A and B are shown apart, each in its own frame.
Chain A
Amino acid sequence: MGSFLVFVGRNSFDFVRYVGGMAGLGKDAAYWTLVAPLRGKGLRGRAAIHQMVLTGVNAIPIVSLIALFVGLILAFQSAYELRKYGGTVFVVNLVAVAMTRQLGPLMTAVIVAGRSASSFAAELGTMKVNEELDALETMGLNKIKFLVVPKCLALLIMMPCLTLVADLMGILGGSVFTTVELGMPYNYYWTRALDALLLKDILSGLIKSVVFGLIITAVGCYEGFSVKGGAEGVGLATTSSVVISITAIIAADMFFSGLFYYIW
């Protein structure tokens, strides 16, 4: 019993310390991304554009493909149940709303977490092992401004863009089913889908995607900065950056889904 309490206590303590450390990093990143440029402390625009290409533009093919599949799967699954009630035509509404409110932002975030949280952790972890972070600090350069801000800015801008791509591709995936299986005219599908959507459906998804972007940056960079030891440490940090960011994304998604359900 005693050792169980020690186990629970130690893990709770580690958890609080982890969240505290990450919140500190998130706060610094937000300051250097949003406040410091207004105070004339500059922003590393070129590096941010480079990161946008790496994290955003290069992710478009995989995000599109997966969103297309998810849209199609969603259409199959909803039609399976709706046809019992003769309501297969509502597949369109379901696909459009579910993709924009939920699956578009969530699938995008999971893909970006897999691609970018891991690459942030590996990059910063390797820099730490190679004393590059120490070198940066001894030059009098702020590692948050130099390394985290371009990544943060890139994801803040690219996550909503990727989410929009995923929304569109998901709805397109649904149209494959309705056109082939139900014989619904393609134009009618899109008209109906757009009619089913409210602006708040799309906006709530985009707001979530920005939060997911912050989570991915904070977890990936925090894991990278916390690397201990050599190559093995980098490997461990890379793995946990993906696991932790996906868990945090789903937890945040649950919170926001509840919030939007009740207040918006």
Chain B
Amino acid sequence: MNATEPIVHIEELTTHYGSRRILNNVSLSVQPRETIVLLGSSGTGKSTLLRHILALEKPTAGHIYIKGMDVCHSTDEELNQLRRRMGVLFQSGALFGSMNLADNVAVPLRELTKLDEPTIQVLVRMKLGLVGLGGFEDLMPSQLSGGMRKRAGLARALALDPEILLFDEPSAGLDPITAAGIDDLILKLKETFPMTIVVVTHELVSAFLIADRIAVMFAGEVVALGTPEEIQRSDHPRVQQFLKRVPEEPERDHEAYLRSLTSS
């Protein structure tokens, strides 16, 4: 792969949940070592797009190429090989509730590598130290705050030194100070490791702080794509609405409203 070839390449992706269209003809390329933020309000399809990149869902049409491999048409074995090069931080942290932090971080190391136990222990402490959770190895996920759970989830995502790191709403449900801490952590990782980072968020401050490029999503489409400065200057009405935090105008069709009340 040469330097200019995208590491993630999404081509005309369309997907439906039942009869409802969630993503509509989305195309997007992510360059190696780039941090891209998928920005948009709730229900615009950004988390769905992330789930497609992870091959957790199959699209109705279109392709997603990761490191040149079409993840929509791969065998489980090929996907598993690829997933070992990817780390994911889920919205809730998705820690295994029955294991303590050390065991959570050790899962990928124990299951997917042939490292001996003392090495795994050292690596686990390193990863937990990296996210600021050194010394918390023996705690269970239920004993942690929301922010700590996300940090621990991040430590597990980093366990195998991934090439691509994906975040689903990293600051959702956190207070501003804790959220800023997570942003700082993402910036630190970006500077330290040669990773491609994809972040799904609706937090403006966070997006403009960490992104190299931002893709603004609305109604299942990417409506604007560019550097944070370009997005600031964009005159797309939806982008401006989002940046200026203008609420959606309710539809004023009185006839339809009355019909919706009286129909059974």
Partner of B111, one of A131, A134, A141: A141
A131 and B97 in contact (CB under 8 A), knowing A138-B56, A139-B83, A141-B112? no
A contacts with B, residue count (CB < 8 A)? 15
Is the C-beta of B136 less than 8 angstroms from some C-beta in chain A? no
Residues of B within 8 A of A14 (CB): none
Which of chain B's residues have a CB closer than 8 A to the CB of A130?
A: 92, 94, 97
Nearest neighbor of A137 in chain B, beta-carbon distance: B56
Q: Which chain A residues border B108 with CB–CB below 8 Å?
A: 139-141
Bits for A143-157, please: 1 = Cβ < 8 Å to B, else 0: 000100000000000
Which residues does chain B contribute within 8 Å of A131, judged by CB atoms? 90-92, 94
Contact digits for B77-92, partner A, Cβ 8 Å, 1 yes 0 no: 0011111101010111
Expressed in whole angstroms, the minimum distance between the Cβ of A151 and any Cβ of chain B is 13
The verdict on B107 contacting chain A, using a C-beta distance below 8 Å, is: yes
**A65 located at the interface, meaning its Cβ lies under 8 Å from any Cβ of chain B in the complex:** no
Contacts of B79 in A (CB 8 A): 140
Tell me the bound Cα distance from A141 to B86 in angstroms.
13
B54 interface hit (Cβ, 8 Å)? yes
**Does B96 sit at the interface, judged by CB under 8 A?**
yes
Task: For the complex, give the distance between the alpha carbons of A137 and B71 in Å.
Answer: 14
Residues of B within 8 A of A81 (CB): none
Q: Which residues of A contact B86 (CB under 8 A)?
A: 138
Q: Is A132 an interface residue (CB 8 A)?
A: yes
Majority-rule SS of A interface residues: helix
Interface string of A116-142 (1 = CB under 8 A from B): 000000010011001110110111111
Residues of B within 8 A of A139 (CB): 83-84, 107-108, 111-112
Chain A residues within an 8 Å CB radius of B51 = 134
Shortest distance from the beta carbon of B245 to any chain A beta carbon, whole Å: 28
Q: Give the distance in Å from the alpha carbon of A256 to the alpha carbon of B79 in the complex.
A: 41
B84: which A residues are within 8 A, CB to CB? Answer: 139-140
Which of B51, B92, B111 has the most C-beta atoms of chain A within 10 angstroms of its own C-beta?
A: B111
User: Could you tell me the distance in whole angstroms from the C-beta of A142 to the nearest C-beta in chain B?
Assistant: 8
- Our pick among B81, B88, B111 for the contact of A135 (Cβ within 8 Å) is B88
Q: What are 18 A-to-B residue pairs whose CB atoms are below 8 Å?
A: A131-B90, A131-B92, A131-B94, A134-B51, A134-B54, A135-B90, A135-B94, A137-B54, A137-B56, A138-B86, A139-B84, A139-B111, A139-B112, A140-B79, A140-B83, A141-B111, A141-B112, A146-B111
Shortest 10 CB-CB contacts between residues of A and residues of B: A140-B80, A135-B94, A140-B83, A131-B94, A131-B90, A138-B88, A140-B84, A139-B108, A138-B54, A132-B94
Known: A137-B83, A140-B80. 20 other contacts (CB 8 A): A131-B91, A131-B94, A132-B94, A132-B95, A132-B96, A132-B97, A134-B54, A134-B94, A135-B94, A137-B56, A138-B54, A139-B84, A139-B107, A139-B108, A140-B81, A140-B84, A140-B112, A141-B108, A141-B111, A141-B112
